[in-house]
Amino acid sequence: DGGITQSPKYLFRKEGQNVTLSCEQNLNHDAMYWYRQDPGQGLRLIYYSQIVNDFQKGDIAEGYSVSREKKESFPLTVTSAQKNPTAFYLCASKGQGNQPQHFGDGTRLSIL
């Protein structure tokens, strides 16, 4: 089936540790996105990439980093600089033009 796969589903981070969240899509979409969702709130954009080897900061990029070396993959690293990393992280991808973004089922990150 075509879709977006996020892993792991649950992740725990120790103080001072960087962690990487995986996002893979087989929809042949050029654009990919990372969002953060806090309880009872909407989605806030962390980073997005319109094409391979290019990405832009979203509204809350501080403490996060990304790479886009392959079209199908857009991993997100939550660095130790992100002081409040506990959240639900969602990855999405989109085809060209006015098309809806398609979402994975998220990774829930918690602090140990």
Please report, as ranges, the residues that interact with another protein according to CB under 8 A. Answer: 4, 6, 33, 40-43, 45, 48, 50, 56, 58, 90, 92, 98, 100-106, 108
Which residues, listed in sequence order, are joined to residue 78 by a DSSP beta bridge? 19, 64
Shortest Cβ 11–another protein spacing (Å) = 14
- Residue whose CB is less far from another protein, 51 or 81: 51
Q: Residue 16 CB, nearest distance to another protein (Å)?
A: 28
Q: Which of 31, 71 has the CB closer to another protein?
A: 31
